Amino acid sequence: LDGPFGADRMRAWARMLVRDNAYAWGVIDTIVSSVVGQGIQTQSDLPDATEINEQRDALFSEWCKVCDINGVLDWHSIQSLIQREICEAGEVLVHLVSVNEVDRGIKRPVPFALELIEADRIAVEKSTLRVPESENRIVRGVEVDALGKPVAYFIHKNHPGDFHVARDIVRLPAANVLHLF
């Protein structure tokens, strides 16, 4: 599928350019380091609550080390990867996941994790004029209501480029997804 104005082909071309051309990779790297820098830092600032502020900051600092659903990326790496995907692919999805405090062998101080989803995993082949029993429709893998507000995203469980895996699709409610572009 080519998408509107060849969007899918443009994304593939941009990925190839960044992969194969050191100048293009350098431009993306410069943008990422300039935009993200040291990353978003937080500081709790409740008036007259020094102890609570310190506890909150310590809790956030611990979560930052294990915020990725797979426990691979830290908070700064996630921010950098999000910016890189926006520059290279034009968009990225961040799935907000409620997890157990110990999930996949990872102990988290807060039962919450982030899953980054490449735009390539959006099931763009899934489109309908109308979703049964509602006024919603699906446009290139995004279910929207009558006003065009996203209701859900249809995502391939695995990357569509992986030929050896099933092409199962899951529906993620838009309330649990940040669509950054």
Q: Tens digit of pLDDT for each residue in 71-84? A: 999 999 999 999 99
Helix (H) or strand (E) holding 176: none
- pLDDT at position 92 over 80: yes
What the block records as the tokens of 54 is 């310190």
The rounded distance, in Å, linking the Cα atoms of 179 and 159 is: 18
Helix (H) or strand (E) holding 171: strand 169-173
- For residue 143, how many C-alpha atoms fall within 13 Å in the half-sphere facing its CB? 18
- For residue 55, how many C-alpha atoms fall within 13 Å in the half-sphere facing its CB? 6
Is this model's pTM higher than 0.85 or not? yes
What the block records as the tokens of 90 is 């034009």
Helical residues (DSSP H) of the chain, grouped into ranges: 7-20, 22-36, 50-65, 75-89
- pLDDT score of 160: 76
- pLDDT at position 29 over 90: yes
- Let me know: does 78 contact 96? Beta carbons within 8 Å: no
Q: pLDDT tens digit string along 31-86?
A: 999 999 888 888 888 888 889 999 999 999 999 999 999 999 999 999 999 999 99
Residue 73 neighbours by CB distance under 10 Å: 18
